[in-house]
């Protein structure tokens, strides 16, 4: 792939090298080619209209080329008419914004490993969200929604799990701290209303449950381990409530992404029932997941405190 020299200042290269030396999340996971290193490590720019993902419209997830962390959903990709892939949203907590060494732009990097992605712009009015993540294709790997090639060392697809157990603040808090978890996003699932708001879900008329989407590394944890943790951080015997939070939106539910997840969830429920727990957790096929408003994301991380109705109780 032909790359153009992006006028990187010597200061920019020095800062990148210094970050590597200090270990500021710059640990290389995948081996990079010289062209990839030019962009990802030394903050270069690929030539416009040359990237492999510019016109890609398949459903799926874009992950970091260097570490495999999920960054963007295909549903947030749009034609920015700029020569590079454009997104008007990122997976919660996946992308970090830092001042660009040029003193005028805002750089975007992978929050997990610090890989350079591109730049972010606002005020262009291109979408309703009025934001454009301008990303180099060479910084990304696309993982199709239908399948992921496990033999591709550059792919390293993550696995998703969906859990609902009362207020999503507490579920987010516990699952985010679990080993092998890449990201947790609070949102809504199981209902019929498209793009539901928190107020709509709280009305109980949309059918949604407050749900978290967990993206995890299957090389570091398993779906079963996460499901066990889910059952231990909330009371699966409470129907349509969790502590003081009452309503259908607070129901206990597992939304399975495939038959293997369904079988694991049902097996764990049977184990709990044999222990005497009258589990009411429903096991339902995953539907479209709608991320919640920004102020719900990483609530306890941004607001000091701990969950008021999610206390871990060992069951397994």
Question: SS3 for 285?
Answer: strand
The CA distance from 316 to 313, in Å, is 9
Marked catalytic residue, from 67, 110, 113, 167: 167
Rg of the Cα trace of the chain? 21
Tokens for 74, please give them.
């295909």
Q: What is the DSSP letter of 293?
A: P
Active site residue 134: yes
Q: CB count, 10 Å around CB of 313?
A: 9
DSSP per-residue letters across 71-126: EEEGGGEE--SSSS-EES---TTSEEEEE-TTSSSEEEEETTT--EEEEEEESS-S
Residues paired with 44 in a beta bridge: none
CB burial of 137-175 (b: ≥16 within 10 Å; e: otherwise) equals: bbbbbbbeeeebeeeeeebbbbbbbbbbbbbbbbbbbbb
Give the integer Cα–Cα distance in Å for 109 and 64. 10
**Could you tell me if 38 and 44 are in contact, meaning their C-beta atoms sit under 8 angstroms apart?**
yes
d(CA 18, CA 216): 30
- Please pick, among 64, 134, 202, 309, the residue that the annotation labels catalytic: 134
Helix, strand, coil percent content, the chain, rounded in steps of 5? 25, 25, 50
Work out the burial of residue 275: count CB atoms within 10 Å of its CB; fewer than 13 is exposed, 13-18 middle, 19 or more buried. Answer: exposed
Give the closest residue to 294 by CA, choosing from 302, 304, 305, 282: 302
Indicate which residues carry an active-site annotation.
Answer: 134, 167
């Amino acid at each position: 792939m032909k790359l153009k020299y992006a006028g990187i200042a010597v200061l920019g290269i020095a800062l990148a090298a210094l970050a590597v030396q200090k270990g500021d999340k710059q640990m290389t996971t995948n081996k990079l080619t010289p062209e990839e290193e030019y962009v990802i490590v030394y903050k270069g720019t690929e030539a416009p209209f040359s990237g492999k993902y510019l016109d890609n419209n398949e459903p799926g997830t874009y992950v970091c080329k260097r570490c495999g962390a999920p960054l963007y959903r295909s549903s947030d990709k749009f034609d920015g008419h700029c020569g590079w892939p454009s997104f008007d949203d990122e997976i919660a907590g996946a992308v970090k914004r830092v001042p660009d060494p040029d003193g005028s732009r805002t750089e975007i990097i992978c929050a997990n490993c610090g890989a350079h992605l591109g730049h972010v712009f606002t005020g262009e009015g291109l979408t309703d969200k009025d934001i454009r993540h301008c990303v180099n294709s060479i910084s990304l790997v696309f993982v199709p929604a239908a399948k992921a090639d496990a033999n591709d060392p550059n792919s390293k697809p993550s696995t998703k799990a969906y859990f609902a157990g009362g207020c999503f603040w507490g579920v987010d808090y516990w699952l985010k701290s679990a080993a092998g978890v890449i990201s947790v996003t609070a949102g809504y699932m199981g209902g019929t209303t498209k793009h539901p708001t928190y107020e709509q879900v709280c009305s109980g008329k949309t059918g949604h449950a407050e749900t978290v989407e967990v993206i995890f590394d299957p090389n570091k944890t398993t779906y079963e381990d996460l499901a066990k943790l889910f059952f231990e951080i909330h009371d699966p015997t409470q129907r349509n409530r969790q502590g003081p939070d009452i309503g259908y939106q607070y129901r206990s539910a597992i939304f399975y992404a495939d038959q293997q997840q369904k079988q694991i969830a049902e097996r764990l429920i049977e184990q709990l029932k044999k222990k005497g727990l009258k589990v009411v957790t429903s096991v339902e096929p995953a539907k479209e997941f709608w991320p919640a408003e920004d102020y719900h994301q990483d609530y306890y991380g941004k607001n000091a405190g701990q969950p008021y109705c999610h206390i871990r109780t060992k069951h397994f």
